[in-house]
């Protein structure tokens, strides 16, 4: 009798109502693949972007980019994983919202015994995002100042702790005083409530008119222009998400007028495409967590059957820290 696995699938783009749960066939891994049984699945904004069609995909398609569990079977040519091993990943193609799946092995990472499945599923995509923002996008050094939007979210709380561990001053933004307090508790030097304060004015005040070295902006349309105005001359704008919609078109000459600014739009999956880089990024993240420099906050849990509610909560910014799904 053929095995199946409960899996979240979309047949059309749209709101949370398009999310369907069905039993999908589960075969054995082919060359370069593994079959992994999930203990916990992660929830991320990229899942919403794929659901609504901002990041197009061929339909029907399973959703989810992040999970942790146990390797059930290993295909030919896979040498870094073995049957029964604990593992976690943030990887394409989508399909992590499931009880189990067969997938390419290259971006699946051996999971240290000291890190729980829950923590791993909550941190792989978010933590490796912080890793590339701080170590692979533009040189950052102790004493630099960074403006980080959505500082109380899953990526943000990791970034606050990461910055503090490396002597980087992080100025966060968040939408409530409670979220600002959470960001500061986790290492943000300052946090600005963007609903009650003008974040550009506050950044100018905090930096004594100098501006910040780097902006890390996952919000997009609502914050993009203001973010540019927070940079010091020769500063770097890292736009890495679109939570409020796509950023507006810009006149590249504006970057010169504002002080020879630099801008980039990186993605995590460009970095993860290289197997060796992916594994190195994961090891650095695991080291931060095992060393106690970064603690993973799981503030919301949903059973897989309630995935639509989970996505609504994330989409409407009703969450803090990370959210996980339990298959």
For residue 102, the surrounding DSSP H or E stretch is: strand 100-104
pLDDT band at 133 (very low <50, low <70, confident <90, very high): very high
What single string gives the DSSP state of each residue in 143-196?
A: T-EEEESSTTBHHHHHHHHHHHHTT-EEEEEESSHHHHHHHHHTT-SEEEETTT
Identify the sign of the CA torsion 178, 183, 185, 186. positive
Tens-place pLDDT, residues 163-198: 999 999 999 999 999 999 999 999 999 999 999 999
Confidence (pTM): 0.94
pLDDT band at 1 (very low <50, low <70, confident <90, very high): low
For residue 67, the surrounding DSSP H or E stretch is: strand 66-74
Tens-place pLDDT, residues 196-207: 999 999 999 999
Q: Is pLDDT above 80 for 221? A: yes
Rounded (10°) CA dihedral 283, 182, 122, 99: 170
Tens-place pLDDT, residues 282-310: 999 999 999 999 999 999 999 999 999 99
pLDDT band at 245 (very low <50, low <70, confident <90, very high): confident
Tens-place pLDDT, residues 143-155: 999 999 999 999 9
Give the 3-state secondary structure of residue 275: helix
Domains of the chain: 4-126+272-326 (3.90.180.10), 138-265 (3.40.50.720)
Identify the sign of the CA torsion 221, 227, 233, 238. negative
- Residue ranges of E strands in 108-189: 108-110, 145-148, 169-174
Rounded to whole angstroms, the Cα distance separating 216 from 231 reads 11
Task: Tell me the two tokens of residue 36.
Answer: 């992994």
Q: How far is CA 95 from CA 50, 55, 127, 241, in A?
A: 12, 15, 19, 21
Average pLDDT (156-161) is 97
Other residues' Cβ atoms within 10 Å of the Cβ of residue 200: 19
Tens-place pLDDT, residues 24-80: 999 999 999 999 999 999 999 999 999 999 998 999 999 999 999 999 999 999 999
Share of the chain above pLDDT 90, in %: 94
> Chain-wide mean pLDDT for the chain?
96
DSSP 304: G
Question: What does the pLDDT read at residue 242?
Answer: 86
Question: What does the pLDDT read at residue 244?
Answer: 84
Average pLDDT (254-266) is 97
Average pLDDT (227-245) is 94
Helix axis angle for 307-315 and 45-52, nearest 10°, is 100
Average pLDDT (251-262) is 96
């Amino acid at each position: 009798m053929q095995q199946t696995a409960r899996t979240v699938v979309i047949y059309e783009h749209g709101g949370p109502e398009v999310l369907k749960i069905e039993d999908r066939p589960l075969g054995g891994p082919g060359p370069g693949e593994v079959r992994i049984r999930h203990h916990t699945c992660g929830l991320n904004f990229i899942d919403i972007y794929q659901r609504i069609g901002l990041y197009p995909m061929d339909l029907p398609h399973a959703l989810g980019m992040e999970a942790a569990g146990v390797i059930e079977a290993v295909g030919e040519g896979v040498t870094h994983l073995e049957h029964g091993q604990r593992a976690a990943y943030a990887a394409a193609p989508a399909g992590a919202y499931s009880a189990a799946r067969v997938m390419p092995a290259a971006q699946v990472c051996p999971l240290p015994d000291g890190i729980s499945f829950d923590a791993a599923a909550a941190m792989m995509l978010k933590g490796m995002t912080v890793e590339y923002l701080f170590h692979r996008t533009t040189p950052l050094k102790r004493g630099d100042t960074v403006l980080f939007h959505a500082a109380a979210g899953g990526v943000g709380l990791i970034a606050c702790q990461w910055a503090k561990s490396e002597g980087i001053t992080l100025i966060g933004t968040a939408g409530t005083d409670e979220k600002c307090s959470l960001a500061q508790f986790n290492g943000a030097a300052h946090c600005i409530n963007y609903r009650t304060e003008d974040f550009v004015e506050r950044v100018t005040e905090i930096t004594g008119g100098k501006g910040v070295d780097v902006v890390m902006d996952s919000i997009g349309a609502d914050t993009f222009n203001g973010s540019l105005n927070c940079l010091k001359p020769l500063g770097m704008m890292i736009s890495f998400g679109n939570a409020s919609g796509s950023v507006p078109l810009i006149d590249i000459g504006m970057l010169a007028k504002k002080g020879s600014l630099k801008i980039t739009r990186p993605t995590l999956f460009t970095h993860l495409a290289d197997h060796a880089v992916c594994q190195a990024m994961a090891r650095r993240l695991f080291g931060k967590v095992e060393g106690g420099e970064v603690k993973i906050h799981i503030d919301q849990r949903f059973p897989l059957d309630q995935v639509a509610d989970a996505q609504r909560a994330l989409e409407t910014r009703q969450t803090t820290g990370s959210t996980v799904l339990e298959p």
